[in-house]
Amino acid sequence: MLGYALAVAIGLSLSMMGGGGSVLTVPIFVYVMHFDAKLAIAMSLPVVGATSLAGAVGHWREGNLHIRSALLFGVLAMVGAFLGARLASLLSGVVQLTLLAVVMICSAALMMRPPGSMSSGVSSSPSTTAMDSSGGRRRWLLAALVGLAVGVLTGVVGIGGGFLFVPALVLLARLPMKTAVGTSLLVITMNTAAGSLGYRGQVDVPWRVVALFVAFAVAGIVVGTRLTRRVSQLGLRRGFAYFLFGIAAFILYQNRVILANPGSALRPSNAGSSRR
């Protein structure tokens, strides 16, 4: 029940900050609900995808979706996520969790930045030719590389990648922040679906647990949407960033075997079809 209660917190963060909370899904499955690391990562993908879809629908109703950019990033992210999920079979759970902790540190560092720092000098309204101005080809190439790379990361460590997609959509697709957030949620839905497909045959996902977790997270999104105007966004982001730093430190400590005995830690185990 504690795990499901924390799922509500994930939904709250997704709705109030446009992302970030989904990076906690794997730690909750591993350290609170006691699933094997590899299975937890596979379980996190449909959770993150479903909650992101719920958020994307809300942004679509508000007109905060740029379909062309979503397709550009999303299709390549799907390829990367599928490949990353297949690559994960060659990695141990310890390696995957250690990589996740590093990703959490990067996510927390980006959250510490002022929200408006990315959008300085960027057009305030989306355009169908957002990537066709001077230097457009270079931005298209960078966007393709970002989509592919974040997709691989999604497949390997089970995150949505919104903390990377949002800056990329602002800086490369030249989208305003609100549109970038909504668009990133659709991209996350696409790449986590591909990542889930990539894990097919590797683990036996308990779909009942996943469905309940999603239900609680979506409930958090509904509540968070109503609370957004009453909470200081800057204070919330900074507080959550410090929290992520702490969780990342805990994960690194729990998986310190990768430093003490890298040979055994790097070998993938056959675990992953059940709880620990």
**pLDDT of amino acid 193:** 93
**pLDDT of amino acid 18:** 57
**pLDDT of amino acid 35:** 92
All residue ranges of the chain with pLDDT < 50 are 121, 123-132, 270-274, 276
**pLDDT of amino acid 171:** 83
pTM comes to 0.80
**pLDDT of amino acid 23:** 81
Q: Give SS3 for 256.
A: coil
Residue 141 Cα distances to 75, 126, 136, 184, 187, angstroms: 14, 19, 9, 18, 17
Q: Give SS3 for 59.
A: helix
**pLDDT tens sequence across 53-89:** 887 887 888 888 899 888 888 899 999 999 999 988 8
Give the phi and the psi of residue 120 in degrees, each rounded to 5.
Answer: -65, 130
What angle do helix axes 177-198 and 37-61 make, rounded to 10 degrees?
140
**pLDDT of amino acid 121:** 46
